[in-house]
Amino acid sequence: MTARPLSTPLRLTGILIAVFVAVLLLSFAASYLVIRSSFDHNLRDQLEARMEVYLDLPSAEGRQERVLEDLANADPALILIDYRPAGRLGLSNVQTLPFADGFATLSESDISGHDIDDSYLALGLEVDGGRLTLAMTRAQMVDMAEVFVAVLLISLLPTLAISAGFGWIFARRTRLRIDKIGTVLHDLQGGNLAVRVPLDPADRDDLAAIGRAVNAMAGAQEAAMATLRQTTTDIAHDLKTPIQRVALTLDRLTRRTVLAADQREFVEQAQAETDHIAKTFDALLRIAQIEAGALRDRFKPVDMQALTHDMVEMFAASAEESGHSLTLSAPAPCTVLGDRELLGQVLANLIENGLRHVPTGGQIAVSLTQHAGQTVLTVADTGPGIPEVERANVLRRLYRLEASRSTPGNGLGLSMVAAISDLHGATLLLGDTAPGLRVTLTFPPLR
């Protein structure tokens, strides 16, 4: 079975939600980066200002005294000081602090000590033949990142849930409206010209405009078909009577007049041609009636196994007389919704087509199977077949292959099959049996 295509409204809703999430994530990321950059610059300025205080002292003794004063009040969780001048005792409020040549970011794993924080921004310079390193906590920046993530999740998840919920509701409503339009178009294609798209007068969107256009098209087609049917009826009335009169006149001529052998032969040929014209005309009217969908109200469940058995049995004598082998394979019951008379016409046309074109001694095989709930009717023969380039043409009215010009017929048999197939929603496929023709009709599952 054909997979149902992805709903366009639902797909667009998903795309819009994805775009919204992407924009929101980019906005949060940009805001975080701007704030972090500002905080980082501020922390750098604080470290440089504090370092300037030490560098402005005139001697190493003064710097050592200032460092001792600051260490007495320094909290390692906020600021780290490590002063190691050449030839003097090092001063620090941590066990080890890597020397940072300039600015560097240090983590807890880079530092040994008590009560230290997770992350620091350090500034290291060479002073008094040694080094002086200052590091200030980046806890606010880390906390800010956690706050951003929390705010993002708190705002994003409910927004996504609400957007997805409303998006699904609106997409489903739109999908239902599109499905209604699609159903109407399918029914119109099947010949039911009375269907219309249900519209709410309050709707003024693009789908409502499409629905009105479909309804206008359906109305125009219905009016055109009504005119065509009336014209066809008028033509039938005007032409069938003269044809019948000609046939009646020829019949009277043969019964009331003594004709020579050659004259009688000409009259019989005229009668045969008149009968052929009448049958062709009736077949054209029948196809027009089928294509208009006028016979759809006669549909009911049809036992295809019984129908194929009856039709093959009916043609068995003709096949035997003409030297053909006509076989049937219908192992399981199959039921389709349709008109039994029209479906019998399909089988009759296909079997007659085989008897007409398959050489004496050839085979005509009728089979009925089920696949994935679908009923598949196949009529295959061992005749000359139909070239692939001609398979679309032979379904046209009155079209005949050059090889068929010498055989009886009017070129309407396969046209009738195609019209009945379309009326029943079946898929018609002309294939090749190498040699021969295989005609396959696949009917939709019975609902």
Distance CA(321)–CA(277), nearest Å, equals 27
Buried b (16+ CB within 10 A) or exposed e, 110-134: bbeeeebbebbbbbbeebbeebbbb
CB 82 within 8 A of CB 71: no
426 Cβ contact partners less than 8 Å away, ≥ 6 residues apart: 441, 442, 443, 444
Same fold, 206-291 and 296-443: no
Q: Which two tokens stand for residue 261?
A: 């052998």
**DSSP characters over 122-187:** EEEEEETTEEEEEEEE-HHHHHHHHHHHHHHHHHHHHHHHHHHHHHHHHHHHHHHHHHHHHHHHHH
**Chunked mean pLDDT (size 10), the chain, 447 residues:** 58 80 83 83 89 86 85 84 81 82 83 79 86 85 79 80 81 83 82 81 81 87 75 66 77 76 78 70 64 70 91 90 90 87 87 87 90 88 80 65 50 76 85 86 85
CA angle centred on 415, ends 410 and 421, rounded to 5°? 150
Which amino acid would we find at residue 213? A
pLDDT of residue 431: 85
pLDDT of residue 419: 82
39 Cβ contact partners less than 8 Å away, ≥ 6 residues apart: 140, 141, 144
CATH level 3 topology of 206-291: Helix Hairpins (1.10.287)
Query: Is 261 exposed, middle or buried, given 0-12, 13-18 or 19+ CB atoms closer than 10 A?
Result: exposed
pLDDT of residue 313: 92
Residue bearing tokens 């010498």: 406
CB atoms within 10 A of CB 310: 13
Please state whether beta strands 363-371 and 374-381 pair in parallel, antiparallel, or not at all (unpaired). antiparallel
Q: What interhelical angle do 304-322 and 340-357 show, nearest 10?
A: 30
pLDDT of residue 86: 80
CATH level 3 topology of 296-443: Heat Shock Protein 90 (3.30.565)
* Phi and psi torsions of 80, nearest 5°: -115, 135
* Phi and psi torsions of 134, nearest 5°: -120, 140
pTM: 0.47
Which amino acid would we find at residue 35? I
Distance CA(26)–CA(38), nearest Å, equals 18
pLDDT of residue 232: 62
Which of 408, 400, 413 lies closest to 345 in space, CA to CA? 413
The conformation of residue 83, written as its DSSP 8-state character, comes to: E
Sequence ranges of the domains in the chain: 206-291, 296-443
Which of 107, 105, 82, 104 lies closest to 94 in space, CA to CA? 82
How long a stretch of residues is the chain?
447
